[in-house]
Structure 1
Amino acid sequence: MRTLFALALAGAVPAAWAQTPASNPMPDGSSDMYVGLGAVSAPRYQGSGEHRVTALPLVQVQWSNGVFISGMSAGLHLSSNPVLEYGPMLAVLARRSHEGSYDAIGVPLGSLDLSGTQNKPATPAGGTPTRPSVAPPAVDEKAPLAGQRSGNRLAGTEAIGARLQGGVFFNYYLTPTLRVTNNLLAGSGRDRHGASWTVGLQHVTRSLAPHHSVSLAADLTMVNRSYNQSYFGVSLRDTMNSGNMPYAPGGGLRDVAVSARWNWALSPGWMISSGARAARLQGDARRSPLVERANNITVSTGLAYRF
């Protein structure tokens, strides 16, 4: 039996980042289910310089008929060939507001601001910010110039609603433990015309010691113009409200990434699954005024029970 366990990030990161579970041959009418709770430290949005720690559920279910659910994605294995995996899939991309990407079932635990701090006037109980008693205020020589932003660069930008994406996956095994993965998804962005294609190379779970296994992966993601304009572009309306310079990116390579996952089987039923992913934005996405940091790291861990 070949099983690939994936930690469900539940919208904290784009669904295409999650690996499609490997086909798991089972007796008719049976299922394989993991349920648990974890925590993830991830950028507030793609390109953010601030990380947020969020509590998230771990969910992965596979049925003998090929249907699977993995976090915020679901699909159907159609192939009976042991070296090929393909089929349709659905994935939810979380809503992004001016405060970052959120998911309804995610609960923020805290945050670590890596982009610097902003000095804000104190707000008394009446709700009106207090002002200095002396005037004029001193000029801050380090203040950003017009068109430059500090702190949260999404402030004042238009929110993008949660999107249900549809697409296909196609995986090919080069060896029993090495597979090429492909996820093609469409339906994201403000106009729902955004599309992404993620292609990767994954080393399926390898046993390092009794009860310990690890999987490694590298991937890159291509997106169309509509995707980049929604998540990395700055419209004239956003410019007026946020102060960011107008920006109209085209499509192309969005990012490249490497990741690792470590599974520790505590017992036949309980497992600790931990992972890390390092991604670097590329091309027009990297040059966006909204990007505070091109290199983003996501770290997660969780405890799951197998039914």
Structure 2
Amino acid sequence: MRYLAPRILLSAAGFAVSLVCAQASAQMFNTVQLNAAAPGQSGGMLGVAGISTPEYQGSAKNRKLIVPVVDYQWSNGWFAGGSNGLGYNFSADPQFNYGVRVTGDIGRKEKRAKLLRGLGDIDARPEVGAFFTFNSSTNTFFGSSVRYGAGNDRKGLLFDLSAGFNESWNQNLRAGASLGASYANDNYMQSFFGINSAQAARSSHKIYTPKAGLRNTYVSAFVSYMVDQRTSLSLIVTSDRLAGDAKASPLSEKTRTSSIVGAVSYHF
């Protein structure tokens, strides 16, 4: 357990961050962190997380959610769960993770805000993609991923980059921070931040056609405490900032939004 416990701390925090980003800023699955088990072993976690997060990316109002924590990875390279999606890691080296996966975009419901009235729902869609992550021996990491399939036309593409660090303060306490950015193609930007002619006719908005470019940047910090060898408590705060045409969208009430999550996880 001396090796596994620090990895578990990072895993629990990373999963909770993914949950926050999924609701607050559409950043779910932006990087892959396979820390639920030691290299060459199988393992997972179960738990629950409480989240305060914006109604949609760019919303000025927050909502509160209680969501399950489920994640598992197998010794043969397969993994599945809410933090990383369903995929396969081709690398046996714990410093390098690279592979393919299937994730999901949660879409957006028109009823979430008055600004969305007349725009229609954006359906949840499966995404296919690939990832690469480097975990250094100094407790820092660099991650990248590409995902394709979001939006009602199923052609939305996101390219994500992130970097961060984590540090153990003692045998039970670990803390860290990360920052990242996401680039979106024309289709993704139009689906989530644009207004087409039909939507303009049904709503109070004018036609808006955003171009491909930087969608957002974010910074996140976490602290995680091991109650015992298998149970952890995590607190994560994330600040997200829209950029480019996403920031200028008539749907973006607030350029910078924040999210908070608290999670308890059991690791096995």
Partner of 1:59: 70
**2:34–2:73: 8 Å Cα contact kept in structure 1?**
no
- 1:45 paired with 2:6, answer no
Q: 1:87 to 1:172 in 2, by over 3 A?
A: same
- 1:172 paired with 2:134, answer yes
Letter in 1 for 2:246: A
Q: Which structure has greater helix proportion?
A: 2
Partner of 2:158: 196
RMSD over aligned CA atoms reads 1.9
- 1:161 paired with 2:171, answer no
- Aligned ranges 1:30-41 → 2 under 5 Å: 30-41=41-52
**1:9–1:57: 8 Å Cα contact kept in structure 2?**
no
Aligned to 1:92, which of 60, 84, 104? 104
Letter in 1 for 2:79: F
Partner of 1:295: 256
Q: Secondary structure at the match of 1:9?
A: helix
Unmatched tracts of structure 1, length 5 or more: 101-150
Structure 1 residue 181 displacement after superposition: 0.3
**1:15–1:93: 8 Å Cα contact kept in structure 2?**
no
Q: 1:215 to 1:22 in 2, by over 3 A?
A: farther
**1:15–1:92: 8 Å Cα contact kept in structure 2?**
no
CA distance in 2, matches of 1:229, 1:264: 41
Q: Secondary structure at the match of 1:284?
A: helix
- Aligned ranges 1:269-284 → 2 under 5 Å: 269-284=230-245
Aligned to 2:92, which of 74, 77, 80? 80
> Normalization by structure 2: what TM-score?
0.88
Structure 1 residue 96 displacement after superposition: 0.9
CA distance in 2, matches of 1:21, 1:173: 9
Moved more, 77-86 or 3-12: 3-12
Structure 1 residue 17 displacement after superposition: 5.2
**1:254–1:282: 8 Å Cα contact kept in structure 2?**
yes
Partner of 1:208: 169
Aligned to 2:216, which of 247, 255, 262? 255
Letter in 1 for 2:51: V
Letter in 2 for 1:162: A
- Aligned ranges 1:231-270 → 2 under 5 Å: 231-270=192-231
Structure 1 residue 232 displacement after superposition: 0.1
Letter in 2 for 1:178: T
- Aligned ranges 1:18-29 → 2 under 5 Å: 19-22=31-34, 24-27=37-40
CA distance in 2, matches of 1:75, 1:202: 23
Structure 1 residue 168 displacement after superposition: 0.5
Structure 1 residue 172 displacement after superposition: 2.1
**1:20–1:70: 8 Å Cα contact kept in structure 2?**
no
Q: Secondary structure at the match of 1:21?
A: coil
- Percent identical pairs in the alignment equals 26
Q: Secondary structure at the match of 1:237?
A: helix
Q: Secondary structure at the match of 1:96?
A: coil
CA distance in 2, matches of 1:245, 1:186: 28
Partner of 2:147: 185
Unmatched tracts of structure 2, length 5 or more: none
> Normalization by structure 1: what TM-score?
0.77
